[in-house]
Amino acid sequence: MAQNDKKQIPLRLSDSLYREIAAWAEDDFRSINGQIEYLLTEAVRKRKKAK
């Protein structure tokens, strides 16, 4: 898989979590999808660093 290939996955979020992520994304000038990807990337990076 090339670096720019992206997988699509269905994701269910509660209304309240969606609103929180949407507000955070707006603050960071990202799309909601971009914000979720950023948060997951940071979580993986921190997990790898902790090992």
Convert the chain into a string of H (helix), E (strand) and C (coil). Answer: CCCCCCCCCCCCCCHHHHHHHHHHHHHCCCCHHHHHHHHHHHHHHHHHHHC
- pTM equals 0.82
Give the up-direction half-sphere exposure of residue 17: CA atoms within 13 A in the CB hemisphere: 6
CA dist., res. 49 & res. 51, Å (int): 6
Identify the band that residue 1 occupies on the pLDDT scale cut at 50, 70 and 90. Answer: low
What confidence tier does 2 reach under pLDDT thresholds 50, 70, 90? low
User: Which domain, by its residues, includes 27?
Assistant: 15-50
Q: Residue 4 falls within a domain, yes or no?
A: no
- State the pLDDT at residue 48: 94
Q: pLDDT tens digits, residue range 4-48?
A: 788 999 999 999 999 999 999 999 999 999 999 999 999 999 999
In a domain, 33, yes or no: yes
Q: Is residue 7, in this structure, part of any structural domain at all?
A: no
Total domains present in the chain: 1
Answer whether residue 9 is part of any domain.
Answer: no
Q: Which residue has the tokens 């609103």?
A: 19
30 lies in a domain? yes
